Each structure stands twice: as C-alpha cells, then as structure tokens.
A and B are shown apart, each in its own frame.
Chain A
Amino acid sequence: MSTLVPHHHAFASLAAIGLVLGGATAQDAGTTLAALVDRAAVVAVASTEGVALPTPQLAVRFQIQQTLRGAGPGNVVLREEGGRCCGRALHGLSGGQFVMFLEQRAGAWHLVAGPRSLVPARTDVVAHVRALVATRSDAARLRVVAEGLEARDQRVRRDAALTLPYAAGLEGAEPRVRGAVVAALQRSLSGEGHDESMHLVLSAARLRLDEALPALLSAYLEPRDRTLDGVLLRELPRFDQARIARALATLPGDPARAVRLLATLDTPAADAPLRRAVRTAPTSTAALAAATLIRRHGADAAGLTRQLDRDGRTALRAMLAERRRQFRAIAPGGQR
C-alpha cells in the first residue's frame, strides 16, 4: 500500500456508529462502548510506551496496566500503515492512558474498530466500561447504559444515547431506565447535549414514553431549530395519538406545524383540530387540513372544500400535490 500512498495522502474512513444492539455481536466497527465491550476479546487499560517511525509502518507499544476483560498479554504492539490516516488510530499518539478494545487476527492483536476503540482512559470512561463488562443480563446492561445517559463524559453520554434505541429488552425496561430516558430527553431538548436528541427520541418511541410527550410536542411546536422535525414527525405517531390530537386541539404555536403533525395521526381525535384549521388557518395550511380530512373521510367530507373556496380546488390541489410530493434524491417522475 505504501507505494500507492503519496506522502500527503492519508486514508479517511467513515465509520457507522451507534445502532448497535447491546448484548449482541457488534459489527466490526460497532463503536459504542457497549458494542466494543461485546466485540472485544480483551478490554484493557494501557499506556503508550514507544512509537516507531512510520517507515513503512507505524508501530506503537502499549503496556497493559489493567485487564478489564479477557486474558491479554502484558504488553502489545499495534501496527498500522504509515502516514496520516483517518480511520487509523495510532497517528499522533504521544502518550497517555487508553482503554483498548482488542481482538486477535492472524496471530496479531488489533483494535476492534480503529480509533474509536482506543479511548482516552478518563475516569468516567473506565468506570463505565468496567460496569458494562460486569453486566450479565439485559436488564443489568440497560441499567448501566441508562446511568451513562447522565454521565458528564461526552463519549459515555453519547454512546449511551446511541446504544439504547436498539438495546435488547428495552420494551420491558425498569422504571428507573424509563425515568433516565425522560430526564435525558428533557435535558437534550432544552439544549444540553442536543446532538443526542434524535437517539433519545427513538428510545422514547420504542419505550412509548407518553410521559415525554409534553417535551416532545414542545420541541416540535416551538423548535430551537428544525433539525429534529423529520424525526419527530416520524416518531410522534408511535405515542398516544389521541393525547397528541387533544394537545393540538387549539392549534398551538404555528398552525402549519400543528397541522403537519395532525396529518400524520390516524385517530378520529385529529378530526376536530383539522376542521378548526380548515376554518381558521391560512390557506395553504387549511388546504392541507382539508386534504387530510378528504383522504380519510371521502371526497366532500361534509362540505370542507367549500369552506376553502367555492369549488374546493385549493384542497384538491393540495391533496394532489401531497400525492405528487417530490422525493429528496431520486426522480422517478423525471423532475429536475
């Protein structure tokens, strides 16, 4: 490979993270701490001892100080291609302690998943990994991961949020786990740890945490930004739809946003606020509301269309536009 890699070239790789089932075999690059614990043959705390020049390979010797899982060697030398390599773990290491997730391939030790399996051994990280290693059941694993949601260490906290939506046995989680998700979700939606919001929303949906509905509806109706719009519109219908419809009865906030959410619900309770929107909302929003009602209840839907305009064309146009809505990337209709 070195003959093909000019000096200034390096590799850049994009690893899939999260979405790893706790207690399951992780993908090779499954990079949450929980996934790495499940995947690694050896989990150890080690410090760097020596770094060889990258000609042609970069080699780093680690002294194992503490083995958290498995029976590893007293020290280990890791090797990678020389040069700057994104997706490689060793470049730029100068010293310090790390939690290492190792596996053996072809008689040599390797990191399970590149740089994300070589984690600075901060106190919270070591404690969290130790706790993950010690779990023996799905319930115990869920407890540890849920505790991770409250960690101050960003890696621990983010990994916990990433792990939870697909963790085994989540539906039957203990009340303390459910409570931890609600609390983390509220923190996240309020702006602390905003990047974890999407995964916490997914966990809340899988748990059907109706107690989180006020926070979720608030996040949708009065968004700090619109990043989560797609996720919330997709996941909110998994919650108590009648309760959502009642919360939207007065079309709070921006009526257009309320109607877009109402249009995703499949409950008769949504009809009343939709009818209200037909009467009171601006034209395009009223048209979407009418189109939704027409789709559910048939063509005239008790004269709805005539409330919009004399011949109902606005609502019908909205309905046809909805059916014809553009895709983001593909163009089956040939649109340019």
Chain B
Amino acid sequence: MEKTAGQLALAALLALGACGSGGGSGASEDPSTQPSLTGNLTVLDQSPADGAVQVALDATLVVTLDGSIVAACLDDAGTYLETAAGVRIPGTARTEAGGHQVHFAPSAPLQAQTDYVFHLSPLTCDGTGRLLDRETRVGFRTRDDVPPRLLSASLTPGQLGVGRTDAVRVIFDETLDAAALRASGVRLRRVSGATAAIDASVSGNTLLIAPVTDLVGAMDYRIEVDAGAVADVAGNPLAIAWSLEFRTATDTTAPQVNTTWPTGTAVSPRATPEIAFDEAIEPATLGTSALRLVDSIGATVATTAVASRDQYRVRLIPHAPLSPSALYRVQLDAGASAITDRSGNPLATAQTYSFTTGTDSTAPRLRESTPQPDAVRVTRRVRPEVQLDEPIDPLRVTTATVVLAADEGAAPTYTVETVGSDRVRVLPSEPLAPGAGYTLTVRSGLDGLRDTAGNPLGADIVVRFRTAADDTLPDVFLLPFHGQLAVPTNATAVAVFDSPIDPATVHDGTVKVVDGIGGRVAGTLTVTHSQRAIRFVPRVAWAAGQTYIFTVVGGVNGVLEPSGNSLAADVSSRFRFGHSLDVVAPNARITINDASRERQQHMSVTGSGFEIRVDADDFDRILDMSTVEVVITGDGGVPGQETVFADAIVSPSTLRYTVPTAAALAPGDYELTATVRDLAGNIGTSAPLSFQVRAPDDGALPFERTQVMWVRFDLDRDRNGRIDHEDDLLRLGLMAPGDPAGTNARMVTLLRDGILAQAHALLGRDRSGAPLGADAVPMRLVAHEPRGLSHARIACGGLDPEADQTRRYGQSSSGVLGRAFFDYRNGNMRDVNTGTSPGLGVFPGELFLFEARVHSRVYPAFLTSFARRFLALVPDMGGTPAGAHPLDAIVLAEGFDETTATSAQRARYRAVFDAADDWATAVGIILAHEIGHAVGLVAEGDNPRGLHGDRSLHNALSSATDVMAPAVGYDALVSLGYSFRDINLAYLQQRLLMK
C-alpha cells in the first residue's frame, strides 16, 4: 500500500515491535507470504477439551492455532483463567511449538472439584497481524474425588402440612450426572412402611422427586436417597445416604367425577368405560359395590376395574364383549361403600352414567401414511400423517398416542391434530433435522388411538422414514402475485424458486391452475432457468375479467428439490385478468454493490465478492423475474447467464448475485447489461454499466487484515482529575456524585460497552465485536489497550479539546461532536486520534451542552426528545441522577428482573436505561463516523479515485440516516436507523477498490 512520508513518520511513533505490520511499515512485506486478506486465526485444538472433567490440578491449558502467535499479545486482558464463579486465577501465558500453541500455566495448583473457564482473547494475533477475532472459551472441571454433598431440600425435616401433590427438590453442591441416577435408590415411603410410586429426575444440581399419585392426607412420609443413587459429573457417587420425614396436610375433601366415557349411542361392544376424577382415588376401594357396570335390566356385568398410573382415572374392562344395541349404566355409589380418595374421603353423592352399544366392534386400521414406511429423502418440512379406514376419536389424538421420535439426537417438538375425521397429522415446530431417521408411532391398546365407537387400534402403527440430507429449504414466489387485478390477458403464470427443483415433481398434480369457480385450467408446464422457474401457459387463452388461482403444492407430495425438501405448505396466488394486452416493456437497472444511480459508473472491484444487482419495475407490475438475464462481457472469462441465475437471490423485483471466489473475474475492463421480461413477454434492457476488476494486492484495499481500534474512554483530557467519559455521565445524570448506591462503576461500563456495541453494529459485528458474517467490516473496537498488537486509537468522552474546558450546563456548545484524521484509503492502520491540539476524538459533552441549552430555552413550553429522556436524571434539569434515587440500589443492580418488579421500580429502571440507551446509540453513531474518517471516508470525488465525498470529506447529498453525513442532530441519532451509505459500506467491506 502506498504510504506517504507523513504516514510513515506517524507510524514510526507507534508500537514498535508489535505483532503484524499493521500497515504502518507494509513496504517490507512480501505479499506472496501473506495469508488471505483479512483472514483470521483458527483454533485447531484445545486441551483440555471444552467440558472435560477430572482435569489434573497442575494442568497447563493448551490451545493450538493455525498461526505463529506473537507472545506479547498473550498479555491482553482478554486472555485469562477464571472459576465458573468468576474468580480470576493468576497464571502465565506463553507460546510453544513455534508459536502455534498457547500455553497457560496457573501460578498455583488449581483447586480440586472446581469448574474453570479459560478465555483466549479475540485479540490474539500472529506475526502477520491476523487476529483470532472471536473469543475462545474452554470450560473444564478439575480432578474431583469428592462425592456430591447435599446442601438443602425444599422441605425441612419434620415439616407439617406438606401438599399432597408437591414434588420435593433436593439440592446438591455441584452438578449431578443425569445419566448416573439410580432410580431404585430414591424412595418415598410412608413411615409406617408402604412405598409410594415416584418419578425421580436430575437437573443441574437438583434431584427432583415427584410422587406419581396424590399422597395420603395427614400421613407421615420419609424420603430416602441411598448412597450411590446419584453421582456428580465426575462420576463420584453420593457417599452418605440421606433421608427426611414430613407429614402431609390434612385432607377432608371428597373426590369429584370430572368426566366419563363413553356416552351416547353406537358405542362399541368392546368399549371399556372410563371415569376421570379431580384427584387420585384409592384403588383398593374399586370393588363392585363402589363402581359397577350394569345392563339394561340391572344385572352387573363382570368387569375388572383398573386405575391409571396417577390414579386419577379408572377403567372398567368387561370380561366379555358387551351386547350389541343394548343400554348400559355405570353406577358409582356414595357413602361407606364408595370409592374414596387416597385420604379415605368417599364420593359424596351416588352417580350413574349410561350409554348404548351399537354393532361396530371392528378396530380401526391404517389406510395409508405420509411419508410411506421406510421412505427416504423425505422433506424436512414433512408433516407426517396417517389415515385410518374410519373416523377416529379426536380426544385420543394426543402426543401420548401419536409419537414422533428421532432415531438419534434431540427429540423433535411437535403438536398433533385431527384432519377431517379419519386422519392424524403431526406438526413439528420446526423443520426436522437433515439426513436423520425418524419413527412415527401411533399407539394401540386401551390407552391408544380408538375409533369414535371406542374400538382401540389393534396394533401400533409404526412408520420409519429418513429426511433429506439438505440443510436448505426451498421458498417460492408466484406471478402474477396474490391479489393482483387487471392482469393483461397475454400474461403467463410463473413460479420462481430460490433453488433448483426436481422437474420430475412438476406435473399437474403439484402445480394447479383453477378458475374462479374451481374449474381446472388445462395448460403446459415447463421448468426453466436453472430449474428454478415453473412456467404455466394455458391451452386456451385466459378469460378477460376472470379470476384464477395458481397453486404450487407443498409438502411431501408437492414440488420437491432434488434433495427431497419441499415447501412447508401449498403456495397460492389469486389474481384477476383485465381486458387488455400488455405491450409496454419493463424497466431494468443494473448496479454493483447496491450503488445508487449517481455513484455506479466506473467502479473498481476485486475479482469476486462484489454484488451485481438487477432492479426491475413494470407499469403493469407483472414482471417475470425468472427471465432476468445478466450479461457480463469483458477481458476475462465470465460466468454465463444460467450460472448467474442459478446462484442468484431473486425476489419479485430484484436479482442479486455475489460473484463467488470460484468464478472470480480476471483483472480487466468489463461491462454489464441486464434484460428482463414481463409476464406478457415484453423485454426491457438496462443501460450498460462499466466496471473494472483489479488485483487486490496493490494496496487498493483499505484493510490488509482486521484492524483494531482502541477507543480511549480512559482519558482525562480536561485534566479535572476524572476521566472524560465519567464527566459525561455525571453531566447526564447517568451516574451520581459520591456513588451513593455503589452503581457508578456499572453505569460507566454499561455506557462504554453500549457505545461500542452501537458502533460495532454499524460495522456488521455483534456487541462483543465478533464478526456477524462474511460482510463484517474488518475493524474491531476495544476499550482497553491491546497488547503486542499494532492498533489505532481514538478518544471518546468529554468536551471538544479545542474549546473552553470549563463550560457547564447552560453554556454554549462548540458544535463539534468529533474530529479525526482523514486517512485516504486507510494508509495508516495506526492512526492516533487522541490529541488535544488539534482536538481529536468524539466529544459527547458538546452534544449534551447543545441539547441542554435548547432545553433551557424551550422548557416547559416544550419537551425536547432529549429532555423527555433526561429530565428525570440530569441534576441541572432538576433530575435525580442514577445512583441517587431511593430505588436505584435495586433497579441498577445486576440481575434486576423487570418482569417481577413493582411498577415504581420498573418506571425508574426504564427512566435510567432508556436514557442510557439513547445516549449510547447517539455516541456510538458519532464514534462510527469518526472511525470512518480514520479509514478513508469519505474520499472526495467519483470512483475509482474517490467515494463521492464532498469538499468537506463527507458524503455529498447525504440522506438523513447516513453515518457519514456532515452534520447530525440528537433527534435523528436516536430516532432514525443509521447506516453507512452503499459506496461507503462497499469500501469498508472491500467490495470495491480505489485507485
């Protein structure tokens, strides 16, 4: 990269001996030895592995990377070891294996049976300046020979009045291994001896013991956990058995009948009557005197009464089929001979229910299933269905009777529904895993699926299938679009998919056109354009003024991708034809990197990674985007039209194609044109667009690797004894003098991180600075000094250093919110924008002074946007600063839960943090603006020498939401969604080059 003498002089002042050239002395580098541009380091291995247990106390932690790490960068504050509780562990990091390994040796042996987390800083770099750019965390547990220790339980020994359905939680001092639970070692029994059924489970450090059925009232119980019944994740079993006794609450409430089945007529002679109660009943009281089935003449039918596992339901199973076409009654007695609950309370009143049998005693049978048994390449969007040969009881269609299970891996979440009267459908909450085996089981038996007469399924229905091994799922849009009116009568109907489809699945069963009264329209179907488009041409011309419905069928039996994946559901478009032909051609416009019309010509780009975009519009709004053809002509080989369309993202009016590395254009001059037809076949052609491809190794790219910017929140440039960032927060009432609630430190950090998060968001990074994708700008911001890594610096905080530093509330702002060196093409990756003469950096204090002054002049007649947020906080505006309000100790504390707070607490929480959020948003945008200058925005003039900047080095003709606008106001900063303008972003993403 070409360097000026000035730049080299400035660079020489910085960070001698740091890793990476950082662009400051790039003249000595041999490009042939460089890694890929802005490529990042990769972790190859780590020891111990993440999640390891029984790690030795004298272990050295080792992370292996694909570059030779510079030792000095291991001093970065982001590289450290801590306990899971957050206690830092001192130690030494060094490089080994020729720099490819980072070794961290704790200063003292680690504590046994302790969870640790090792952090390797994202600022870890190699000798060429490549960054890790993402934090690496390795969690592990040290040698652990100590059994888990019981800390507490949800009951106290001897507790009285315990609920009869309450589960008991037993808390241990460490995480338990769920797979090591020995259920037989956990018991709940009456003190007098009888054992109660329980469900025991482990979650985290908790053993949950849930009674299967209601406990007996006023009864003494004992929980017993045997030694070895549970174990920690290191495999150490519980060493000492534990038990606890309690007494349940007194229960004098009689049970009630909730529901009965069957009712009505035409009941199967094989039906087994069921009664559901509002609490568990005592099975020992289910004698024939308490509950019986009698026929029409009052004779008792021989039955066996069986209670469900939770004892809330009782089923009467006749010893022989009932008589057809006969009346039956279920009788429940009251009083001394009645069914009782678990505590001995009898039914209060006798009850009788009747039903009449019919003649249907045939079990339902499977008619067909979707998918079919043992099907493969089943769409991940499948909604499995089974169809029975007769109507089924919808009350029995539940996730207990219809079970979808994965052969391995996580179980899918789903619901089930009845479709029509005889079909059951499973609705997974999200597409199934690719290339995975699943089993759909419809349960038989008395608790399984049954028909409406009550005949249970004779045998389980089991359908095994395997999903498509394809991560992607298709989508489609239809033309004419849904709801369109006055469609020209010479139009065709087109479906455009986002990926190729299997032509064999396109036929009149999967693509349908019907008229307004449901009549099928005959026509011809063709699959075109890289097998991404389906075109329907009617055999007979469309009827003018008529409505048609164009449908592409989804699901297993619809249009499929070659992998087998499908649309989630049918997609339809209903439209009406007009009475005229369309003879007007559509308009097409082609651009690179989303550049606007004024900035699109003569752009200079690298051979790949830039985006070609076609925008089309049509007078009749009937574009046929399946016909877009992009023609690239020029000095080297170019991708053909089919290739472009096959890889493009197509929407109803745009086509976007990012040139992949595999199809990179050779250096040279090129021209683009695009054509697009409407549904009537009229063709529109774009104006040609010239561009140049250049090799990226001639210094034309702004970033040679991910650049690091140290944002100096720690400066005290007004020399008042307090850092300028804190001066800002005191002025704003975002922290309080004297720190009465001990919250100032948190607010300082919160605002600092928020400002960085906003700036990072504009750079395509998450709030920690990690890149969100390939289009992230190679610029990472940090709030602490990077060690051993060349970096740029910018001040953030306080007043404009060029103006009076003693100004206070009510006095004038200098009007300058920030100032930074303009660095053409980012020639120097070590810019220093922290000086006071000239005053450089970001000056939030000036924004405050300006807004405060406006407020003082219009209040109370008007409340500005700033005042609405800060009136409650700024001391000079009569507010109570964060940390000085009686509620602040609560609402500003970490872990404050807004959802459980009082309304007063919530109001104060919102008052403080909505203001803080606005402020961080505004300052973060200004910070991004100044950083933009520091990396070459906005070079004056047109491409390829400039970036359409104006004489002031801001965007000419900027919009209201442009980060690089020459001027901004608070209202816009906090109200509008800011972003870098097309060309600015393309430059930052290195999708265009400058000469």
Contact = CB atoms under 8 A, between A and B. Distances in A.
B827 to A, nearest CB: 6
Interface in A131-155: none
Interface in A145-186: 162, 166, 168, 170-171
* Residue of A15, A24, A334 with most chain B CB atoms under a 10 A cut-off: A15
Nearest to A171: B861
Contacts of A15: 815-817, 966-967
A327 B858 contact: no
Interface in B952-995: 952-954, 959-961, 966-972, 975-977
A254 to B, nearest CB: 14
A328 B953 contact: no
Contacts of B157: none
Contacts of B858: 21, 166, 168
A143 B751 CA distance: 42
Interface in B178-200: none
Contact of A21 (B819, B854, B975): B854
B823 A9 contact: yes
Interface string A78-95: 000100111100011000
Interface in A25-50: 25-31
A110 B360 CA distance: 103
A320 interface: yes
A116 interface: yes
A113 B800 CA distance: 14
A92 B946 CA distance: 16
A198 B917 contact: no
Interface in B871-928: 894, 896, 898-899, 906, 913-914, 916-917, 920-921, 924, 926
B822 A28 contact: no
A13 B813 contact: no
Interface of A: 1, 4-21, 24-31, 81, 84-87, 91-92, 113, 115-116, 162, 166, 168, 170-171, 194-195, 197-199, 202, 206, 226-228, 230-231, 234, 320, 323-324, 327-332, 334, 336
A329 B924 contact: yes
B906 A323 contact: yes
Interface string B849-881: 111011001100110110000000000000000
A272 B767 CA distance: 41
Interface residues of B, number: 84
A1 B824 CA distance: 19
Contacts of B460: none
* Residue of B5, B854, B906 with most chain A CB atoms under a 10 A cut-off: B854
B827 A8 contact: yes
A170 B953 CA distance: 35
Contacts of A1: 837-838
A195 B914 CA distance: 26
Contacts of A21: 853-854, 857-858
Contacts of B846: 16
Interface of B: 4-7, 9-10, 750-751, 753-755, 757-758, 761, 766-768, 803, 812-824, 827-828, 835, 837-838, 840, 846-847, 849-851, 853-854, 857-858, 861-862, 864-865, 894, 896, 898-899, 906, 913-914, 916-917, 920-921, 924, 926, 929-930, 933, 940, 951-954, 959-961, 966-972, 975-977
Nearest to A226: B977
Given A28-B813, A327-B913, A162 B753 contact: no
A86 B976 CA distance: 24
B865 A234 contact: yes
B966 A332 contact: no
Contacts of B953: 10, 12, 84, 86
A19 B822 CA distance: 27
Contact of B854 (A166, A170, A198): A166
B968 A16 contact: yes
Given A6-B4, A14-B816, A86-B933, 10 more contacts: A8-B823, A10-B821, A11-B822, A19-B851, A26-B812, A28-B803, A31-B967, A113-B815, A323-B898, A327-B754
B899 A324 contact: yes
B106 to A, nearest CB: 27
Nearest to B901: A323
A20 B854 contact: yes
Nearest to A327: B917
Contacts of B849: 27
Contact of B753 (A16, A24, A30, A330): A330
Contact of A336 (B761, B768, B818): B768
Instruction: State the 6 A-B residue pairs at the shortest beta-carbon distance, nearest first.
Output: A29-B815, A6-B6, A12-B933, A86-B953, A330-B754, A329-B920
Contact of A87 (B755, B761, B952): B952
A3 to B, nearest CB: 9
B817 A198 contact: no
Contacts of B821: 5, 9-12
